Structure 1
Amino acid sequence: MSKVLKVGIIGSGGIAQAHARAYKAMDDVEIVAVADIVPGKAAEFIHRLGLETATPFEDHRQLLEQPLDGVSICTPNASHHRTAVDALRADKQVLLEKPMSVTLDEAIDMVSVSKETGNMLTIGFQPRYDPNMKTLQQIIQSGQLGKIYYIQTGGGRRRGMPGGTFIRKELAGAGAMADIGCYSIDLALHALGYPRPLTVSAYTSNHFGTNPTYHPDASHFDVEDFGVAMVRFEGDLVLNFKISWAMHMDTLGPTLFLGTDAGLRVTPAGQGPWSGVWDGGVDSISLFHDVLGHHTESPIPLRSHQVNLFYEKVRDFVVAVQEGKPAPIPCDEILRNQAIIDGILRSAELRREVTIELPN
């Protein structure tokens, strides 16, 4: 049996509970520390989740002084960079919740520190563990579509605006883009090996979040609830991206991959006002191709499964730490995801196309 991994959790909000429950379900992991800057919150979290052997801290740097093998970082977005860098320099392996950071410069620094210290920084994109997402990836990587030249992705909730730290720019950095948009970008680009983005032309708005008719905390809402962008990549590929927390519409359309030999249409699972985005499963996959000169649509059978995607994400991190494997979802890959979000926000603010500058 592998050695018992000693882990700490930084942040004790809702997503931290999901990390804690996943760790608790593993016989070879012990949660030994929890940190939260709000006085008493870490202790309350420990008591509520029955983490009897864990010690509470109000400063994450004190937690990082403990003999830990790894940490989950579950803090508001604005603190991801500082907390992750501190953890890496404290010789900890790091599982960081999405989005990676607030700005591209922060993400570049995080990747640099991970390489410098030799410590893992993996980013939490649990939809990758859906067996049907893996089917989608296999189809694209098989070459059946030929050269892929256009992708449409994103998603929209008719009503699905969160509150709290998600809607304040000083804490979240961005709104729908960081919360659910990063999943759509990962869906589109992971299967293609994350091509290098070159330019972005984008528009964002927050007509719903700032309207008290639609959001109870409208006076504090200062992030975007809608965004759309055209992103150009190396290899003559373009991405039409759109995301929405709220709108007067039932959908912003499926995800599409257009290739020279075939096309692929993918729709997200779920029903109701909070569905329609890529933070969950897959509802359908269809391949559009020609057979003997006839236009043909071939439904791709979905895999029925009971996979707990969040557990699989955390488990993959644990195994990687135990066995000295590379990061399950490498930070230098998600750097390009963050670069696109950063470019979208800059372009929307400047109201013009912007260039994405990435280190070689």
Structure 2
Amino acid sequence: MTTPIRIGIIGSGGIARAHASAYKKMPLHVEIVAVADSLPGRAQAFIEQEELVHAAAFEDHRKLLELELDGVSICTPNFAHHETSVNALNAGKHVLVEKPMSVTLQQSIEMVEAAERSGKMLTVGFQPRYDPNMSLIQEIVQSGKLGKVYFVETGGGRRRGMPGGTFIRQELAGAGAMADIGCYSLDMALNALGYPKPLTVSAYTSNHFGTNPLYHREAANFDVEDFGVAMIRLEGDIILNYKTSWAMHMDSLGATMFLGTDAGLKVTPAGSGPWSGVWDGSVGSMTLYHDVVNQHIQSSIPVIDHGLNLFDEKVRDFVAAIRENRPAPIPGAEILYNQAIIDGVLRSAASKREVTIELP
């Protein structure tokens, strides 16, 4: 009989419930051993609500990490991603941390360094990667069909879809829309390109909606951006135009586009309604623009109807990587570039000038 993978969960909010649900669908392969939450009573309440009858509750995540565990899901608010991930890696546990990776670029660097020192996996929770349509986009872009890709536009906007709580406080979240939903669109574009290194960023951000009581019930506490746009120079002489919004008086910020010397690819997100229009979901349509015998042709690429629960696929792949001793499915060393861009956006917007991205 296969020995179960022993998992700890740090944090007990809504995202932790999604992790627990995914793990519980693998009962023969996974055992949730412990849950930690710094707020008294919350871990035990989570264990009871999720019926984790054999799990232990902790208020100090460091006590949880003293247990014999194979892996840990980090489901805390953004500000705690760094400390809990580094502590888990130093304790010899594999780590699945929710996005965004951290609050600051330096924290992400330290997380990657901890993974390298420990020899343990640090993977970041970008579940849209598990949509087979995302793999198809990557395949098209990297096949050479587009020729030399020189310009990419990505991002998305909700007409009205602003969260609250820890998401809107800079000291707790690090950034607003750029980190919360923008990181997904960055990953989509950068992953398709093979994650080229970002070089410079010129950006603008604002929070006209979040700070207005007409649009947000927590306007007095809102101190992150609800809109941002940036021009990013990437290695390989590629320009990336990046834009994201939690709220706006518009139906869309447009599709994602890959412009190449031989063809172009246009991709729209799936979904409808005021919270849609961003890349935290699936693909709505894909169109290839190319020339055939001097005729302008646009070919619709069929969207794969997969029926997968992408979140479950993310957690399942983490478990499989532990069991099979595989590298991190979505390695922190790769997502470091994603975090570096968000950091560059915030620095450029604050200084009102272009900034250079420097990575170790």
Instruction: Settle same-fold status: TM greater than 0.5.
Output: yes
Distance apart, 1:2 and its partner CA: 3.6
- Cα deviation code 1:209-233 (max 9, x no counterpart): 0111000111111111000000001
Distance apart, 1:104 and its partner CA: 1.1
Distance apart, 1:135 and its partner CA: 1.1
Contact 1:151 1:255 (C-alpha < 8 Å) held by counterparts: yes
Distance, in Å, in 2 between the alignment partners of 1:325 and 1:300 is 32
Distance, in Å, in 2 between the alignment partners of 1:264 and 1:147 is 12
Structure 1 position 63 matched with structure 2 position 58: no
Structure 1 counterpart of 2:306, one-letter code: H
Contact 1:3 1:322 (C-alpha < 8 Å) held by counterparts: no
Match of 2:279 in 1: 278
Distance, in Å, in 2 between the alignment partners of 1:177 and 1:37 is 27
Structure 1 position 238 matched with structure 2 position 277: no
Mapping for residues 151-300 of structure 1, pairs under 5 Å: 151-300=152-301
| Secondary structure of the corresponding residue to residue 191 of structure 1 | helix
| Secondary structure of the corresponding residue to residue 153 of structure 1 | strand
Structure 1 position 313 matched with structure 2 position 314: yes
Aligned sequence identity (%): 70
- Cα deviation code 1:116-140 (max 9, x no counterpart): 1101100000000001111111111
Contact 1:155 1:252 (C-alpha < 8 Å) held by counterparts: yes
Distance, in Å, in 1 between the alignment partners of 2:352 and 2:3 is 54
- Cα deviation code 1:235-293 (max 9, x no counterpart): 11000000000000000000000000000000000000000000000000000000110
Structure 1 counterpart of 2:9, one-letter code: I
Mapping for residues 5-16 of structure 1, pairs under 5 Å: 5-16=5-16
Structure 1 counterpart of 2:225, one-letter code: E
CA RMSD in angstroms comes to: 0.7
Distance apart, 1:3 and its partner CA: 2.1
| Secondary structure of the corresponding residue to residue 326 of structure 1 | coil
Distance apart, 1:97 and its partner CA: 0.3
5+ residue gaps in structure 1? none
- TM-score between both structures, scaled by the size of structure 2: 0.99
Q: How many residues align?
A: 359
Structure 1 counterpart of 2:185, one-letter code: S
Structure 1 position 333 matched with structure 2 position 327: no
Distance apart, 1:207 and its partner CA: 0.5
Match of 1:346 in 2: 347
Distance, in Å, in 1 between the alignment partners of 2:204 and 2:216 is 21
Structure 2 counterpart of 1:246, one-letter code: A
| Secondary structure of the corresponding residue to residue 87 of structure 2 | helix
**Where do 4+ consecutive residues of structure 1 move more than 4 Å?**
none
Mapping for residues 76-115 of structure 1, pairs under 5 Å: 76-115=77-116
5+ residue gaps in structure 2? none
- TM-score between both structures, scaled by the size of structure 1: 0.99
Match of 1:4 in 2: 4
| Secondary structure of the corresponding residue to residue 334 of structure 2 | helix
Structure 2 counterpart of 1:229, one-letter code: A
Contact 1:2 1:322 (C-alpha < 8 Å) held by counterparts: no
Distance, in Å, in 2 between the alignment partners of 1:269 and 1:64 is 39
| Secondary structure of the corresponding residue to residue 181 of structure 2 | helix
Bigger mean CA offset, 259-268 vs 106-115: 106-115
Match of 1:22 in 2: 22
- Cα deviation code 1:17-64 (max 9, x no counterpart): 000000000021010100001110111111111111111110110110
